[in-house]
Amino acid sequence: MYGALSMQGKVAIITGGAGGIGQATAELIIGRGGKAVIADINLESATSVAARFGDAALAVELDLLEEDSIRAMIAKVMGHFGRIDVLHNNAAATGADVVSADGAVGDMPTWVWDRLFSVNCRGTMIATREALPHLIEAKGSIVNTVSGLGLQGHIRSAAYGATKAAIIQLTRSIATAYGRQGVRCNAVAPGLVLTETVARDFPTKWRKLVEDETLRDRAGAPEDIAEAVAFLASDAARNITGQTLASDGGVSVHIPGFAAYTAAFAELAAG
């Protein structure tokens, strides 16, 4: 039905799969015939999501700070499904305590830097390392969720942005090292995504600043990012590897001051 976009027979691990982008990706992959592993630090939420899809989904507890937890997750997936075709490294440290303390470098608490690099970078590396033998066997695909903050500077979120830039480079390294063994590795860089949490908690003032720079009529939705992830994971992207696809509504492509220029030219045209 979906041609090269089909996920029929493929098993995809989705870290941070219990909500937001991860949940939307799981739903899309299952909808296209695949199986999804909902791997999340919140097992209760993961189990709730997986229960909606019956035998097509498996909930697994995953703590990216714990190497044994990552190994146990891979072992459980192999024991249950017997293969791994896709690894979507999507989970990140996004707790309110970390986000609120992640400012500019001059004010950076060391624990924030260490936490973000431990979860985002170290966790992504270990999950990839442990899945690689199975991905090589399956000629599989890795898709990393990064961020526009890994491509552009910001006055805040210095640690988060640095981790995402590091994962972009890790993406290239993995693609280069394992491409001849049949494994592709790409990244998706979202802009502002209106997950339930963001829609509820992100201040309207700051949200408007981002939306004013978007070349669409709205900010992104989790389903928008899921479509990009599923594409890169599918055979439709079989000749694409080592790339970072920005799915940000065009925020990263235009000149600085886009919103101000738009308003100024509109004012000129009106007057």
pLDDT of residue 155: 93
Give, to the nearest 10 degrees, the angle between helix 222-233 and helix 20-31.
50
What pLDDT, in 10s, does the model give residues 207-243? Answer: 888 889 999 988 899 999 999 999 999 999 999 999 9
Alpha helical stretches, state H, the chain: 20-31, 43-51, 67-81, 96-101, 110-116, 123-138, 158-178, 196-201, 204-212, 222-233, 258-270
Closest-CA residue to 123 (of 99, 145, 98)? 145
| Count of domains for the chain | 1
pLDDT of residue 178: 98
Enzyme catalytic residues:
160
User: Is 250 within a domain?
Assistant: yes
Give, to the nearest 10 degrees, the angle between helix 158-178 and helix 123-138.
20
Closest-CA residue to 143 (of 241, 30, 229, 39)? 229
In whole numbers, what is the pLDDT of the chain averaged over residues?
95
User: Is 209 within a domain?
Assistant: no
Asked whether the predicted pLDDT for residue 267 surpasses 90, the reply is no
pLDDT of residue 256: 84
In single-letter form, the type of residue at position 1 comes to M
User: Is 229 within a domain?
Assistant: yes
User: Is 214 within a domain?
Assistant: no
Asked whether the predicted pLDDT for residue 1 surpasses 90, the reply is no
Residue range 76-84: mean pLDDT, rounded: 98
What pLDDT, in 10s, does the model give residues 102-116? Answer: 999 999 999 999 999
User: Is 193 within a domain?
Assistant: yes
For residue 92 the two structure tokens come to 């990140």
Q: Residue 242's domain spans which residues?
A: 3-203+219-254
CATH number of the domain where residue 117 is located = 3.40.50.720
User: Is 212 within a domain?
Assistant: no
User: Is 262 within a domain?
Assistant: no
User: Is 271 within a domain?
Assistant: no
Asked whether the predicted pLDDT for residue 10 surpasses 80, the reply is yes
Give the CA-trace dihedral at 231, 235, 239, 245, to 10 degrees.
10
DSSP-derived letter for residue 6 is -
What pLDDT, in 10s, does the model give residues 164-215? Answer: 999 999 999 999 999 999 999 999 999 999 888 887 877 888 888 888 999 9
